[in-house]
Copies of this chain bind each other. A is one copy, B any other.
Amino acid sequence: ANPVEAAGCNLTEFIGTAVGDTIGLVIANVDHLLHEKMKLDKKYRSIGVIGARIGAGPQIMAADEAVKATNSEVISIELPRDTKGGAGHGSLIIFGSEDVSDAKRAVEVTLQTIDKTMGDVYSNEAGHLEFQYTARASYAIGKAFGAPVGKSFGLICAGPAAIGVILADTAVKAANVGIVGYASPGNGGTSYSNEVILTVTGDSGAVRQSVTAAREAGLKLLGSLGAAPVSASVPYI
């Protein structure tokens, strides 16, 4: 975002922006009519909101760090079919807290972390790859993917989806990991995005090895459809 324009956004609800057309916002006291329509739990007076056009995994991983670091909870995670003409999702993540400062802090931590979690998102003109890894998943990852909290977690994703099928096979053959979920365009786990998403858990060394093996294969396969895929930031895994 143009810093002049961002500086011009003087709304108290505005916290900041990040890569991927990500915006971070907060509402100190959600209107009671809206609160009901949004089906929020009554204990959350304040909400933090993260939304993006490009990316769901990076924002969810960043929100997971925010949940670890703050006194807030992830209320909901929704996956629009987006990426601005790309093959994947955007995201809408809502944090709840009793105090507005906690929701605000969760949004800030998320925004600060997205640059890192975009590091293993790679794209070219034909599609994208995404890899995520953490030694210890928390509640955002648990809510989004059904992954066990407190354990190591890895995500392997590619669009077009066909590449994701191969990466999923590569990942589970590369190390002794358990499968948390397998999502595909028409069989659940995606909003009809052109992706296959495999999520894995297990020993942290094994999860990392599984993810990096898939990454190596993915860069070759997506590269066969166009230019060498380029990271959206700096690879971290």
Contacts and interface: CB of A to CB of B under 8 A. Distances in A.
Contact of A194 (B80, B160, B198): B80
B5 A187 contact: no
Interface string A170-209: 0011000011011011110011111110100000000000
A9 B223 contact: yes
B224 A162 contact: no
Interface residues of A, number: 79
Q: Summarize A's interface: helix, strand, loop or mixed.
A: mixed
A47 B221 CA distance: 17
Interface in A136-167: 159-163, 165-166
A220 B161 CA distance: 34
Interface string A1-45: 110011011110110010001011101001101100110000000
A17 B33 CA distance: 40
A227 interface: yes
A228 interface: yes
Contacts of A80: 87, 161, 185-186, 190, 192-195
A33 B172 contact: yes
Contacts of A226: 1-2, 5, 21
Contact of A87 (B53, B76, B181): B53
Contacts of A21: 126-127, 160, 225-226
Contacts of A50: 162
A224 B165 contact: no
Contact of A37 (B1, B79, B182, B192): B182
Contacts of A161: 51, 78, 80, 90, 92
Contacts of A11: 166, 217, 220-221
